[in-house]
């Protein structure tokens, strides 16, 4: 087990992370909404890194896991800036692996740190999910509470009880990327389950259609769900990272 480290941000908050030394571009795990770096996929990549000699970093977003932060202050922009700060703390080329929300952040990094990106793996990339997926799915009384009171408590299977803030939705509108071409650096491999009921596979197709400047592989998994954490899914993930590391 690698030692837990902390990256201090300018406002005094800290990002918790684990770093594994190795060769090649550093594989950077960027997790999903309300998930942390102790999840199945993050740990599967850590084991693969240990066995195969990859350089690897996994971290928790602001207000997630072992990182500090007030959840009510969390925004897409904050998470994107923190992910960029993690890249700045790493030497050499980086291979982001973004899951769900992390997929959106990994695509934002294509414009924030394009010179640092060697290649990218996306797992059910949830680009623009606040506007295109989450907001439309909320019950009307929840949307009204967010607009009226600035926040609402919701309960979601697998994610528990948490607050959704008007601030998060409004700030995210400055980070939307699915209304224009997405300039990308290096090759991109997307893993997407056809049975995903959180980020529908057609959402991934729209993302693919907009990416320019990079070779894109879309691996559509017929019986795959949103998590893509079964042994066979983890094998696909590790294989995708291995292939892109070798390019």
On whether the CB atoms of residues 90 and 57 are closer than 8 A, the answer is yes
Q: Each residue of 28-41: pLDDT tens digit?
A: 999 999 999 999 99
The pLDDT of residue 101? 98
Q: Each residue of 35-70: pLDDT tens digit?
A: 999 999 999 999 999 999 999 999 999 999 999 999
96 bridge partner residues: 28
The pLDDT of residue 7? 98
Is pLDDT above 90 for 232? yes
Rg of the chain (C-alpha set): 17
Mean pLDDT taken over the chain = 97
Residue % of the chain over a pLDDT of 90: 97
Location of structure tokens 């056809």:
194
The pLDDT of residue 157? 84
On whether the CB atoms of residues 109 and 96 are closer than 8 A, the answer is yes
The pLDDT of residue 229? 98
The pLDDT of residue 185? 85
The pLDDT of residue 241? 98
Classify 245 in phi/psi space as left (phi over 0), alpha (psi -120 to 50) or beta: alpha
The pLDDT of residue 77? 98
145 confidence band (pLDDT: 50, 70, 90)? very high
On whether the CB atoms of residues 42 and 31 are closer than 8 A, the answer is yes
Q: What is the mean pLDDT of residues 76-88?
A: 98
pTM (2 decimals)? 0.98
On whether the CB atoms of residues 123 and 98 are closer than 8 A, the answer is yes
HSE, side-chain direction, 13 A CA sphere, residue 40: 11
95 confidence band (pLDDT: 50, 70, 90)? very high
Sequential DSSP letters for the chain: -PPEEEEEPTTS-EEEEEEE--EEEEEEEE--TT--TTSHHHHHHHHHHHHHTEEEEEEPPTTSTTS---GGG--HHHHHHHHHHHHHTS-S-EEEEEETHHHHHHHHHHHHSGGGBSEEEEES--TTHIIIIIHHHS-HHHHHHHHHHSEEEEEETTTEEEEEEHHHHHHHTTS--TTS-EE--SEEEEEEETT-SSS-HHHHHHHHHHEESS-EEEEEETT--SS--SHHHHHHHHHHHHHHHT-
Which position has the higher pLDDT, 157 or 173? 173
Location of structure tokens 């259609």:
209
Q: Each residue of 97-122: pLDDT tens digit?
A: 999 999 999 999 999 999 999 999 99
Is pLDDT above 90 for 1? no
Q: Each residue of 147-169: pLDDT tens digit?
A: 999 999 999 888 889 999 999 99
């Amino acid at each position: 087990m690698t030692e837990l480290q902390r990256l201090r941000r300018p406002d005094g908050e800290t990002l918790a992370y684990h770093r594994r030394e190795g060769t090649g571009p550093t594989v950077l795990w960027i997790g999903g909404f309300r998930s942390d770096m102790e999840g199945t996929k993050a740990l599967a990549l850590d084991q693969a890194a240990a066995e195969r000699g990859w350089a690897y970093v996994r971290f928790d977003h602001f207000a997630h896991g072992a990182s500090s932060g007030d959840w009510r202050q969390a925004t897409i922009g904050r998470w994107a800036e923190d992910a960029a700060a993690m890249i700045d703390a790493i030497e050499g080329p980086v291979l982001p692996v973004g899951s769900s929300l992390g997929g959106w952040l990994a695509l934002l990094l294509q414009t924030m740190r394009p010179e640092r990106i060697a290649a990218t793996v996306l797992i059910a990339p949830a680009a623009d999910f606040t506007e295109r997926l989450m907001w439309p799915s909320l019950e009307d009384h929840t949307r009204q509470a967010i607009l009226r009171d600035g926040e609402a408590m919701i309960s979601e299977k697998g994610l528990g009880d948490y607050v959704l803030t008007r601030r998060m939705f409004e700030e995210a509108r400055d980070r939307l990327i699915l209304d224009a071409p997405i300039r990308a650096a290096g090759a991109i491999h997307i893993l997407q389950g056809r049975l995903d009921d959180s980020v529908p596979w057609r959402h991934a197709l729209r993302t693919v259609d907009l990416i320019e400047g990079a070779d894109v592989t879309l691996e559509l998994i017929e019986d795959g769900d949103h998590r893509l954490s079964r042994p066979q899914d983890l094998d696909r993930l590790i294989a995708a990272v291995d292939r892109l590391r070798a390019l």
